[in-house]
């Protein structure tokens, strides 16, 4: 991983990756930036923008101090700023352009309080989900329109029409048979025969 070192004064250094433009901030550098927010612009000037941008999700970074894979999380738990943190507390990786955002969000959260920050994060999540759902719906509608514009093979069209025609004929014939059975004259005029009741035998009335 090609790194450039950025001097922050008082013996404090940050390290920027020239491939992904993320910056590694050891604990002292992290504290130094919060004490002097202007250093964020200094780091941005010294960490060049990569000529080949990484598409998609960036793999988890490794700690340049201990070499272990780091954990990914949101800064302050409620922001949209992604950071990778060393499990042994050697420092954090974050996008160089997000350093100023970290400082701004820390000030914002301190001003509005924890509960308000949590509500903001929940509202932002709901808005993002609605946006993603709308995008999925738009893509599905575009795909449906594209499929409608593509003509089906002639053989498939003929087979579909034939199946529909045969099915319609079967339904008509079956319906006519049902109507004929229900409207038959014999069925209307045939009398209803009720069997006569046979009186029960009374054994007590017979002579002994």
- pLDDT 10s digit of each residue in the chain, 208 long? 678 888 999 899 999 888 788 899 999 999 999 999 999 888 888 887 655 555 667 788 899 999 999 999 989 888 889 999 999 999 999 988 889 999 999 999 989 998 888 888 888 878 888 888 888 888 888 888 887 776 656 555 566 666 667 766 676 666 666 666 555 555 445 554 555 555 555 554 454 4
Q: How far apart, in whole angstroms, are the C-alpha atoms of residue 155 and residue 132? A: 39
E-strand stretches of the chain: 3-9, 12-17, 22-25, 71-74, 82-85, 92-95
Read off the pTM: 0.56
Q: What share of the chain is helix, strand, coil (3-state, %, to 5)?
A: 50, 15, 35
Q: Map out the domains of the chain as residue ranges.
A: 3-112, 113-152
CA–CA dist 8, 29 (Å, integer) = 7
**CB 187 within 8 Å of CB 181:** yes
**Burial class of 61 by CB neighbour count within 10 A (0 to 12, 13 to 18, 19+):** buried
């Amino acid at each position: 991983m090609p790194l450039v070192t950025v001097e922050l004064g008082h013996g404090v250094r940050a390290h920027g990756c020239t491939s992904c433009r993320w910056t590694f901030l050891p604990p002292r550098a992290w504290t130094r930036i919060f004490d002097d927010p202007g250093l964020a612009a200094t780091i941005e000037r010294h960490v060049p923008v990569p000529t080949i941008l990484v598409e998609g999700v960036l793999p988890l970074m490794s700690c340049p101090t201990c070499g272990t894979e780091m954990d990914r999380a949101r800064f302050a738990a409620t922001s949209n700023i992604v950071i990778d943190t060393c499990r042994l507390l050697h420092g954090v990786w974050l996008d160089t352009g997000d350093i100023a955002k970290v400082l701004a969000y820390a000030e914002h959260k301190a001003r509005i309080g924890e509960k308000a920050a949590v509500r903001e994060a929940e509202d932002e999540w709901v808005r993002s989900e609605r946006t993603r759902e709308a995008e999925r719906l738009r893509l599905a509608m575009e795909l449906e329109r594209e499929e409608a514009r593509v003509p089906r093979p002639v053989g498939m069209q003929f087979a579909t029409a034939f199946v529909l025609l045969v099915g319609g004929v079967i339904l008509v014939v079956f319906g006519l048979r049902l109507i004929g059975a229900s409207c038959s004259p014999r069925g209307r005029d045939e009398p209803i025969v009720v069997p006569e009741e046979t009186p029960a035998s009374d054994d007590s009335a017979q002579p002994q």
